[in-house]
A and B are shown apart, each in its own frame.
Chain A
Amino acid sequence: MPPISRGFFGRRRDEVDPSRVPPGQYVVRDFPVLSAGPTPRTPLDEWSFMIDGAVDEPVSWPWEEFRALPSETFTVDIHCVTKWTKLGTTWTGVPVDALLETVSTEGDYVVAWCDGDYTTNLALEDITSGQAWVAYEFDGEPLAPEHGGPARLLVPHLYLWKSAKWVRGLTLTIEDEPGFWETAGYHNHGDPWREQRYWSD
């Protein structure tokens, strides 16, 4: 049993539906920024999105072609491992399913790689079947650089470090290859509902 914190009552938010807040999280109204280095700024004419690795033929889309792909606008709750949860965020982007349909692969995992050299690993089963997007708009506006613009991965059912900012590609892999935070003490999978924050959770 955790010890009672004498004199602590907490600040419950009646307006928040508790079934939407994973354990240990609290709801914010603003949009905090977390990243491990400077914000990269890649000009759009040098930007492309690539699917490579364990695939028959790598595919890549320059920015204009990527923006011309069929997109979806969707509203999801997002959960950062640093404890904040933001409810009802609206994004526009390309479903990862549509991107992966263009290749055939024997891989079961991907490494998402980014400008700024950030990486994160994901199992295909976590980013297919309508669970992930490469998003380039937030709330109807182009995604701001500090939030990952021009485009970021969005995998809202996992902690937000899996939703790689400044994403530039997915590399299919046969083996699971832990990424940046996954090799720095954080959980390999990162399910907020099971509070998988750190490697030993």
Chain B
Amino acid sequence: MARAAVLERLTPIAWRVATVEAVVDETPSARTIVLDVPSWPGHTAGQHVDVRLTAEDGYQAQRSYSIASAPEAERLELTVERLDDGEVSPYLTGELRAGDPLELRGPVGGYFTWRAEDGGPLLLVGGGSGVVPLRAMLRHHAARQSDADARLLLSARTAADILYRDELESRPGVRFTLTRERPQGWTGFDRRVDAEMLTAVGPDPAERPRIYVCGPTAFVESVADLLVALGHEPSAVRAERFGPTGG
């Protein structure tokens, strides 16, 4: 693991009241929230924010969500997956609507980040909604017209669960795998991520790619172990895990 290089100490990480400009349903269980954040200090692709909800009696709940938008975008976007037994995500994906205030602070996290000047090659591996910070990286890559070789492998349960499918399909170097179904005409992978799949997606360990893996804990544990076994440097593999609890 490389030492995190940057001291993120420019703007205090203070609570701000954003306004929801729009909500966009991405899949049956995930929604993108488009936010206008007053004096947003800017972020780096891969970072997250803390969101805080306050009930009328003063009760509060906080959770962290990855930023889905590129640093270059005018609006901050979060994509939230609904966890049915969650406390915050059902609200964000159900009740919240355009015009509502939403309290947040950030950006947070100085390690699971990619800047165009970091260069490539880049290997992004996402499980389920773990693709959210990786999409911010790809959008940043596009916004900066980076010529870094960037590849994404996204694992989803079913085709309907693939986040940002149209956008991702329009990019080179993006591959999907489905773990619970194989629809007619499907040309992607149809199994859990394994060594053979990672080899097919590339780049070769000899090219020393920067690797970002984000998803549920078991997914990240498995993929990170496979990558190291394939010969990638452990320090080149940056991981962001989320457990089944949360949301």
Contact = CB atoms under 8 A, between A and B. Distances in A.
Interface in A1-49: 2-12, 24, 26, 28-40
A90 interface: no
Nearest to B110: A184
Dominant SS among interface residues on chain A:
loop
Contacts of B62: 24, 26, 83
Contacts of A36: 1, 111-112, 238-239
Contacts of A4: 54-56
Interface in A129-167: 146
| In the complex, the 3 A-B pairs of residues with the closest C-beta atoms, listed nearest first | A32-B243, A184-B110, A200-B12
A185 B103 contact: no
Contact of B95 (A6, A31, A38, A116): A6
Interface residues of B, number: 54
Contacts of A117: 1-3, 235
A38 B61 contact: no
Interface string B220-233: 01001101100000
Contacts of B95: 6-8
A14 B93 CA distance: 25
25 contacts: A4-B56, A5-B102, A8-B53, A8-B54, A10-B61, A12-B59, A24-B62, A28-B245, A32-B245, A32-B246, A37-B239, A40-B234, A82-B64, A119-B3, A180-B1, A180-B3, A183-B4, A183-B6, A183-B7, A184-B4, A184-B8, A184-B110, A185-B108, A199-B9, A199-B13
Interface in B72-108: 87, 91, 95, 100-103, 108
A38 B224 contact: yes
B225 A11 contact: no
B2 A26 contact: no
A38 B239 contact: yes
- Which interface residue of A146, A197, A200 has the most chain B CB atoms within 10 A? A200
A61 interface: no
Contact of B87 (A10, A34, A183, A197): A10
Given A9-B59, A83-B62, A181-B4, 10 more contacts: A2-B52, A3-B54, A32-B242, A32-B243, A33-B243, A37-B1, A38-B225, A116-B234, A117-B2, A184-B111
B13 A201 contact: yes
Interface in A177-201: 180-181, 183-185, 197-201
Given A24-B60, A146-B217, A183-B4, A37 B237 contact: yes
Contacts of A63: none
Given A5-B91, A8-B95, A32-B217, A38 B227 contact: yes
A109 interface: no
B170 to A, nearest CB: 31
A179 B175 CA distance: 36
Interface string A115-127: 0111100000000
B107 to A, nearest CB: 8
Nearest to A12: B59
A39 B8 contact: no
Interface in B190-247: 217, 221, 224-225, 227-228, 234-235, 237-239, 241-246
A150 B95 CA distance: 45
Nearest to A5: B53
B144 interface: no
B239 A3 contact: no
Contacts of B228: 38
B220 to A, nearest CB: 8
A84 interface: yes
Contacts of B7: 183, 185
A192 to B, nearest CB: 12
Contact of A35 (B56, B61, B241): B241
Interface in A82-109: 82-84
Contacts of A201: 13
B238 A37 contact: yes
Given A9-B55, A26-B61, A33-B217, A39 B241 contact: no
